[in-house]
Amino acid sequence: MSARSHAKVLALSGGVGGAKLAAGLDGILHPGGLTVLVNTGDDFEHLALHVSPDIDSVVYALSGRNDIERGWGRADETWQFMGALRELAGDDWFSLGDRDLAMHVLRTQALRQGEALSALTARAAAALGIRSQVVPMTDAPVRTLVHTDEGALAFQEYFVRRKCVPRVTGLCFEGVQRAMAPSAVLALLRDPALAAVVLCPSNPFLSIDPILAVPGLRDALSACEAPVVAVSPIIGGAAVKGPTAKILRELGHEVSPAAIAEHYAGLLDGIVIDEEDRDLRARIAIATCVTRTLMTRTDERASLARSVLDFAATLRDTPAVRGGCKQMRQA
Amino acid sequence: MSARSHAKVLALSGGVGGAKLAAGLDGILHPGGLTVLVNTGDDFEHLALHVSPDIDSVVYALSGRNDIERGWGRADETWQFMGALRELAGDDWFSLGDRDLAMHVLRTQALRQGEALSALTARAAAALGIRSQVVPMTDAPVRTLVHTDEGALAFQEYFVRRKCVPRVTGLCFEGVQRAMAPSAVLALLRDPALAAVVLCPSNPFLSIDPILAVPGLRDALSACEAPVVAVSPIIGGAAVKGPTAKILRELGHEVSPAAIAEHYAGLLDGIVIDEEDRDLRARIAIATCVTRTLMTRTDERASLARSVLDFAATLRDTPAVRGGCKQMRQA
């Protein structure tokens, strides 16, 4: 623990799965040591409110306010607003809890007043006592569009309304070409104190790829001195939650950590896979750490976070391995 | 009852006190017989949500959803949103209940999409099963400004934040010169089937005057054939609720139904005062009906509504009295 008392870590995260590991990292690092760069491709306007599902998942997880049973939203949530909305014949396909609403209302107010999403996010995180930096991947509006056999669907249409049923044929991130990466994150990627970059076990297509598509971010990650490590969201041929396995299959990939490593080819120095997938190790071309990756209990977040950082430290201290990775990056 | 089975009635109302009588009238008239013209001078933007306190009070009262104990907002309300808002260091001086929020969110969404306040209000009222017409005094933004010894205050600043403590020196209704009266209400005022116009026992300065200030409305009321009747919000030298008595005093008036009759001089054919004020009858220059006006129980709303309409009917049937009023109007 003392070794990482002043370590800096950057984590890339989508919603629920990623947020769990981010919370684990937050718990074992010194205050301010963790920066979580969060996907905003899922953001959307609903009932004229600006909803940032992944930012909220991260903020709720890092402040201990997330609902563990339900897997999204706030703990001890109530739903009086939704009941009243239905009475009034309002759009009720997307559930907004009474407590959760405070975040959407404040965010909408801030954005309408010209405040940046990043500034509002920092303010909210501080108000909830979060010690880490929670940073949206960009302040510009980026919207993930899911191309399917039913046509192009806005992310929430695909994810919530159509429950991920349509077959995915591709994805694009509208507006990403004009997006700017957060300067603090670009600076962090050049900081010699950066100990590791962690790609959380989020959906690679829906949660991590939008972040990597922000101009400059992928290059800055490739160029950074610190080891870049992914945690596989696939365990034993299935995703812990969400449509990762389904999308891998639909896009013609194998449903395994090997496909995850391949997806991030050129970017990773190592990958963390579950014990259940130990046998696949030989098929993965980069450094691989085998450990228990399922985070069911809260203490499992911290222990996975420890394993990930320990693994990253071995990659940093082993020039041969990093050399191997650099080669792979150029491949 | 059969006599008024097809009667049309127009009620002018502010929030809570007025809404009670409007609910009484709604209960005894045939479906669609009542039109409630509601003050919007109290409307304001809070947390980037459009709040219309008086419209909501009327809609909640007419749909049986108002909180009788608290006197404002919805019955069975919960306050989880406010708790979460405080955690996030949001502006919490104005309380928004979880159920109540649905109305503000829907209204804000509708207005941002270009829907008129009147259209949204009609839609919400219909969704809640209201049979009467609830009509905002105008679709244009009008904002009541309270001039006080502490300077000019926006209505909610005066009413909620400063709890009506500053001494009122005058009022103005910003934007009212550009406001248009609802054409349906102007048509109703020319309709021979209109049996009565009722000025509900709302604050004359803060709730009824903004309505009367909408260009064309006061003239149309003066010109209408139906009797115009006010119910005094002052009983026994005090207001049932709110700052009516305090403002009367601060503006140099006596705190009595006589001052209310005087305030509406030129407009009224009659006034309904409480039994407690029976002795003041001689000092009121227009037709006066003495009855119990306090609406503590729900059944008292209907019985006051009946008394008011019966009184209005006598004014219609007694040309001498109306003649007297017409003279007074010209005075």
ipTM score of complex: 0.90
pLDDT tops 80 at residue B2: no
Of B74, B101, B109, the CB nearest to A48: B109
- Closest residue of chain B to A105, computed from CA coordinates: B47
B19-41 confidence digits (pLDDT tens): 999 999 999 999 999 999 999 99
User: Which top CATH class is B2-40+138-330?
Assistant: alpha beta
Q: Does A285 touch chain B (CB under 8 A)?
A: no
Q: Is B311 helix (H, G, I), strand (E, B) or coil?
A: helix
CB B50 within 8 A of CB B70: no
Q: Is A174 helix (H, G, I), strand (E, B) or coil?
A: strand
CATH number of the domain located at residue range(s) A2-67+117-330 in this protein: 3.40.50.10680
H or E stretch at A219: helix A217-223
Contact: A81, B85; criterion CB under 8 Å: no
Of A78, A89, A113, the CB nearest to B78: A78
- Answer with the residue of higher pLDDT: A96 or B6: A96
The pLDDT value given to residue A323: 38
Q: Where are the domains of chain A?
A: 2-67+117-330
Q: Which residues of A touch B124 (CB under 8 A)?
A: 88
The pLDDT value given to residue B330: 36
- Closest residue of chain B to A48, computed from CA coordinates: B109
Contact: A89, B127; criterion CB under 8 Å: yes
Mean pLDDT is lowest, of A35-44, A316-325, B6-15, B124-133, for: A316-325
The pLDDT value given to residue B327: 37
Q: Which residues of B touch A88 (CB under 8 A)?
A: 102-103, 106, 124, 127-128
Of B101, B103, B127, the CB nearest to A101: B101
- The candidate with the shortest Cα–Cα distance to A226, out of A133, A317, A303, is A317
Give the strand pairing for A234-235 and B238-239.
Answer: unpaired
- Per the structure block, which two tokens stand in for B4? 């008024």
Q: Which residues of B touch A83 (CB under 8 A)?
A: 99
- Closest residue of chain B to A99, computed from CA coordinates: B81
Q: Does B78 touch chain A (CB under 8 A)?
A: yes
Name which of B79, B87, B96 to mutate to probe chain A: the one with the most chain A Cβ atoms within 10 A of its Cβ: B87
B92-129 confidence digits (pLDDT tens): 999 999 999 999 999 999 999 999 999 999 999 999 99
Give the strand pairing for B168-174 and B194-199.
Answer: unpaired
Contact: B85, A102; criterion CB under 8 Å: yes
B215-270 confidence digits (pLDDT tens): 999 999 999 999 999 999 999 999 988 899 999 999 999 999 999 999 999 999 99
Helical spans, DSSP H, in B204-280: 209-212, 217-223, 244-250, 257-263
Distance from CA of B51 to the nearest CA of A (A): 13
Contact: A127, B74; criterion CB under 8 Å: no
Q: Which residues of A touch B87 (CB under 8 A)?
A: 102, 127-128
Q: Does B186 touch chain A (CB under 8 A)?
A: no
How many residues are there in chain A? 331
pLDDT tops 50 at residue A330: no
Three-state SS letters, B129-172: CCCCEEEECCCCCCEEEEEECCEEEEHHHHHHHCCCCCCEEEEE
CB B250 within 8 A of CB B171: no
Q: Number of Cβ pairs closer than 8 Å across A and B?
A: 101
Contact: A87, B127; criterion CB under 8 Å: yes
Q: Which residues of B touch A127 (CB under 8 A)?
A: 87-89
Contact: B88, A98; criterion CB under 8 Å: no
Q: Which A residues in the span 79-98 are in contact with B, Cβ-Cβ below 8 Å?
A: 80-85, 87-90, 97-98
A241-297 confidence digits (pLDDT tens): 889 999 999 999 999 999 999 999 999 999 999 999 999 999 999 999 999 999 988
The pLDDT value given to residue A318: 61
Contact: B48, A112; criterion CB under 8 Å: yes
